Copies of this chain bind each other. A is one copy, B any other.
């Protein structure tokens, strides 16, 4: 059984792509990030909520502030990656729903009254979009280094506000020397998929 997606694309996105821990000096441009966004923005979210927000950490001063909030094992790569992005969920995404989901004008009202419901939906859908974004980085011929080892509260205070919850930090660039460990084993199909 083969997939419709051509093997080169399978390799680029999944089979040969790896989480990079070192990077070359080659810069990652805003044009590249825009091309990535213009592809992955089409990935599906509930009611087209599209709650992912991205902070590109470009200035040396901002990079230094971010590195201080990373777990020790993540500091060096975050300090040296060509570009670092903070991915966050917008808990006030419902404000955009009249624009994003015009054929159901009441969609905004469903979320207006309950911040907890919004946070849950924003986390789910922004995390789906974070995965699309990681694959979009690979689609651009770059390596992604997503990290959850960080002080989330510190990153939120330093770079976001109460309405935006950080999900992860992603290093972006061309992989450098010894960029990755040997690939870890994956679970067998029968350990993951059951049928009822």
Binding site for B on A (CB under 8 A): 1-6, 8-10, 12-15, 17, 19, 29-44, 46, 48, 50, 52-59, 62, 96, 99-103, 121, 123-124, 127-132, 134-136, 138-141, 144, 146, 148-149, 159, 167-168, 181-187, 189, 191-196
Contact = CB atoms under 8 A, between A and B. Distances in A.
A19 to B, nearest CB: 5
A100 B43 contact: no
Contacts of A40: 14
Count of this chain's copies in the oligomeric assembly: 2
Given A1-B35, A56-B193, 4 more contacts: A1-B29, A5-B39, A6-B8, A131-B131
Contacts of A103: 181-182
Contacts of A42: 14-15, 17, 183, 186
- 3 closest A-B pairs by beta carbon, nearest first, are A131-B131, A4-B141, A5-B139
Contacts of A10: 39, 139
